[in-house]
Amino acid sequence: MAHLSPSGKWDARYLGPVPHDASYYAKCMLGGALACGVTHAGITPLDVTKCNMQVNSAKYKGLIQGLKTIASEEGSRGLWKGFGPTFVGYSLQGMFKYGLYEPFKDLYQNLAGEEASTKYKGAIWLAGSASAEIFADIALCPLEMTKVKIQTSPAGTFPVPMMAALSEMQKLKAETRFPFGSLVPLWSRQIPYTMAKFFFFESIVQLFYSKVFTAPKDSYSEVTQLGITFASGYIAGVVCAVVSHPADSLVSLMGKPSNRGKSLGTIASEVGIVSLATKGLGTRVIMIGTLTGFQWWIYDSFKTAMGMGTTGGK
């Protein structure tokens, strides 16, 4: 496998089975949009329950009980509140998260050079994913704020359809801080989450191919490679859930009417770090582990279908 550019110099863009050109990066963006949009929208009922557990833990004590409470009070449609902004928001986020990770990773590898990029792979994975997530969250923020408001507002007090909800958020922007009021807590949740997600995924894939599946990567079938992708993504997702949960709780609590106008520090001190770190964590571990496993599987399935190969393990 050639790692040299046409000029004969070592180039990270030529490390994979196909050159990383503009078409490659565009396909990665599309694969990322599919991976994140479909998976996040598909688990909307879990997300609705998790957000309500964070905002009103006295009423929503657990996943099953929370699901039953929401269904009994609002019907099955109540479990799918926020589906629209979730699908659109996380499609945009995934497009930039995965799509920009690839060029940032290549950029940092080329800046470091062949020897240093091999020695400090972990640092490059962390820097590439953090850089991509900065832009991904700017795209996500207005829709994430709207989603949380839809999901945590008592039935009948806030519009549920996406366009009506976005319009209402704009009207109430003095109170809701729409469209970027949650960007800093979103960054504090998503950047560590994404850094963990990509670092642990890449590390676990590499472990699989160096310790368990020790033949050359391209000697294994696509099914096997995608199975390794899913397992690595699931394990990475569990780590991500724990790392990012306190900030995730803060994002949810910001949408609570009684917290309107309060600073993040005030909300955190009132709730307490233990509560921020643990309320709804079990549900989120299940949610994010499954979510991350399937995201990587969808992303790598798309890349494989495009002839670009699976991620990592080289």
250-259 pLDDT per residue, tens: 877 876 777 7
191-240 pLDDT per residue, tens: 988 998 999 999 999 999 999 999 999 899 999 999 999 999 999 988 88
Instruction: Give the ranges where 59-120 is alpha helix by DSSP (H).
Output: 63-74, 83-112, 114-119
Phi/psi for 21 (5° steps) reads: -100, -175
141-171 pLDDT per residue, tens: 999 999 999 988 888 899 999 999 999 999 9
Phi/psi for 281 (5° steps) reads: -65, -40
At 36 the pLDDT is 96
What are the structural domains of the chain? 18-305 (1.50.40.10)
Question: What angle is formed at CA 247 by the lines to CA 244 and CA 252, rounded to 5 degrees?
Answer: 120
**Angstrom distances, CA of residue 217 to CA of 93, 222, 309:** 30, 10, 10
Distance CA 290, CA 50 (A): 15
- pTM (two decimals): 0.83
Q: Which of 17-31, 220-234, 287-301 has the lowest mean pLDDT?
A: 287-301
Tokens of 44: 């909307």
